[in-house]
Structure 1
Amino acid sequence: MKEGLFMESSQLVAIISRLDAMTENENDEVQTRHFEKNGKEMGIVSFDPTTKTFTLEEVSDKQKFEFDNIDLVAIEVYDLLNE
């Protein structure tokens, strides 16, 4: 890498790390993470370890979407934060 250039940290990797931490919790409680943009809450993701599903609630319109795949929910959160 040339001096003076830097690589910006991937927003998608950060989102996946937060979601992945939810799946690694040892108890059976639903885990929740809040995603914000410029201090404004954009979405809330919950993970239910008993069903192994994620639920994304878009705060602006209260719509909820269910996912059984971490990649798909990460992409949706990324899109939500970059609207």
Structure 2
Amino acid sequence: MQESEDGSVQSRRFEKDGVEKGEVTFDPATETYSLEEIATHQKFEFDDIDLAAIEIYDLLDDSED
């Protein structure tokens, strides 16, 4: 996402067992990542890919289901 050279906003969807759990969007203009949790429609913004990855891991973690 970060390495895309066309300058457009990039997004990726994350699902578990065929159920969409979240969507991450990277905006190259602001260099920020936005995570939307599909079930709650909550949105979180991060300026660090590692923090976004931790939130995605937590979102997909089995122990919370």
TM-score range, shorter-chain basis?
A: over 0.9
1:9-44: CA deviation from partner (whole Å, max 9, x where unpaired): xxxxxxxxxxxxx00100111000000000000000
Q: Secondary structure at the match of 1:35?
A: strand
Q: Secondary structure at the match of 1:29?
A: coil
Instruction: Give the gaps of 5 or more residues in structure 2.
Output: none
Identity percentage over the alignment? 61
TM-score computed with the length of structure 2 as normaliser: 0.93
The alignment of Structure 1 onto Structure 2 pairs a total of residues equal to 62
Choose 1 or 2 for highest CA Rg. 1
1:23-78: CA deviation from partner (whole Å, max 9, x where unpaired): 01001110000000000000000000010000000000100000000000000000
Paired letter, 1:47: F
Which 4+ runs in 1 deviate beyond 6 A? none
Asked if residue 24 in structure 1 is aligned to residue 27 in structure 2, the reply is no
Match of 1:63 in 2: 42
Instruction: Point out the structure with the larger strand share.
Output: 2
Separation in structure 2 between the aligned mates of residue 28 and residue 71 of structure 1, nearest angstrom:
21
Instruction: Point out the structure with the larger helix share.
Output: 1
Asked if residue 46 in structure 1 is aligned to residue 25 in structure 2, the reply is yes
Paired letter, 1:80: L
Paired letter, 1:58: E
TM-score computed with the length of structure 1 as normaliser: 0.73
